[in-house]
Amino acid sequence: MHACNSKGSLVWGVCSAVLEVHVGTGSVFSVEGQGVVLPAWYTSRSQKKPYVTWLLDKADADPFQILTYLDGVVKVEETELKPRVGFLYPVLTHNISVFINSTRERDSGQYMCTVNVVDDATSTGKNVAVINLTVLVPPAPPACQLRGSPAVGANVTLSCASEKGKPSPAYQWQRMAPTLQVFFPPAQDRARGTLKLTNLSLDMSGLYKCVAENQAGSAECRIILEVHSTREGAIIAGAVLGSLGALATVAFFARRLVGYRRKKRDGQEEAANEIKEDAVAPKTPSWTRTPPADAISKTSTLSSIAGARDRPYGASPLSDTASVLTAAGSYRGPHRAGGCPPPTNGAPWHPPQPPATPGGLPPSSLARAGAVPVMVPAQSRAGSLV
């Protein structure tokens, strides 16, 4: 039986060298986006090819393989690290260091390396090495804010906060030129990023800067503090209130005007509807109506008289019993028998013209008005129509 100490010296006879894995450091830090190397190597006097395995153990997951070397073949496992991880040197050089490119925050964890050689003995746990990787994240640009009203004699708080950063950043406030000033606790809280300014005065106005910083980097933001007097504050408040009042007045009158116009329009529409409902159908013009029978008779009589006036006397004598209605509707008796009376003093006799009816129209005007001449039958003495 043979035995060897940790250095491979001979005890109880000939013995092979002891296999052991070494690491350059137990903790490695990297900044997000940069590359990192996990340094590791193993010692062995065996000429056989080793079997090397790298695993990643995270706090929220079980350990899983990321890289292996077996029988001279390198295999990268299907993980999110696959396109970014690999052996830094040939494994047969006994340097089994691993590189990781473009590190991410979730790459942080415990990396374990295990080496086994077929004909090489090892002590318990000596063939395993562990390296803790921490990926740092620089602070995101912080946001500066002012809490409170910066009036003379008042108190305000300047706040600064960054949404991202690993480890959590510390904050430092300072006042910029022309009046440089650095602040310390208790006025400043470096963990919370607040700066309390009390009993403000006009000369405290200026530019203030906040720097968020951790091991990975820094970022800053700036804010202008303008301290105003109470009178200025009252003026500003009055101006604001006056503007709001003016806007409210304009809005009120605008609504009233719109309502008035709408009401007027609705009233006009209602009146128009009432007029349409109460309107009487248009009457037929008087000149298009059929004239009464007595008017037709009168018009016809006048037309008959006018026609007789144009004929020679005696051409078509009327009956002795013929009656003539004048334009005014009066009755003129029949002519006496015996024909025409003899001429007097040798002058021809002219029949008397019927007197013009007051307000009457000449026959020409009646004809233009559409009157139709009608003959009235004569009546004999016995009362029969001729």
Sign of CA dihedral 193, 196, 202, 203: negative
Do 143-225 and 20-136 fall under one CATH topology? Answer: yes
Give 122's pLDDT tier (boundaries 50, 70, 90).
confident
How many other CB atoms are there within 10 angstroms of residue 83's CB atom?
10
On whether the CB atoms of residues 122 and 46 are closer than 8 A, the answer is no
Is the pLDDT reported for residue 338 higher than 70? no
User: CA-to-CA distance for 100 and 328, rounded, in angstroms?
Assistant: 134
On whether the CB atoms of residues 137 and 216 are closer than 8 A, the answer is yes
Most confident region among 48-57, 224-233, 346-355 by mean pLDDT: 48-57
Average model confidence (pLDDT) across the chain: 76
pLDDT score for 302: 39
Of all residues in the chain, the percent with pLDDT exceeding 70 is 62
pLDDT score for 273: 63
Is the pLDDT reported for residue 266 higher than 80? no
CATH classification of 143-225 is 3.30.930.10, yes or no?
no
pLDDT digits (tens, 9 = 90+) for 353-377: 554 444 555 666 656 666 656 555 5
User: CA-to-CA distance for 165 and 41, rounded, in angstroms?
Assistant: 33
CA distances, 296 to each of 124, 301, 306, 332, 374 (Å): 149, 8, 15, 19, 8
CA distances, 31 to each of 132, 264, 283 (Å): 14, 75, 103
Read off the DSSP letter of residue 82. G
Which of the residue ranges 50-59, 108-117, 146-155, 311-320 would you say has the lowest mean pLDDT? 311-320
Is the pLDDT reported for residue 185 higher than 80? yes
CA distances, 239 to each of 231, 232, 246, 323 (Å): 12, 10, 10, 106
pLDDT score for 357: 47
User: CA-to-CA distance for 381 and 30, rounded, in angstroms?
Assistant: 151
State pTM to two decimals.
0.53
Average pLDDT over residues 144-148: 96
Domain boundaries, the chain: 20-136, 143-225
pLDDT digits (tens, 9 = 90+) for 10-33: 333 344 558 999 999 999 999 999
Average pLDDT over residues 200-214: 96
Is the pLDDT reported for residue 281 higher than 70? no
20-136: CATH topology = Immunoglobulin-like (2.60.40)
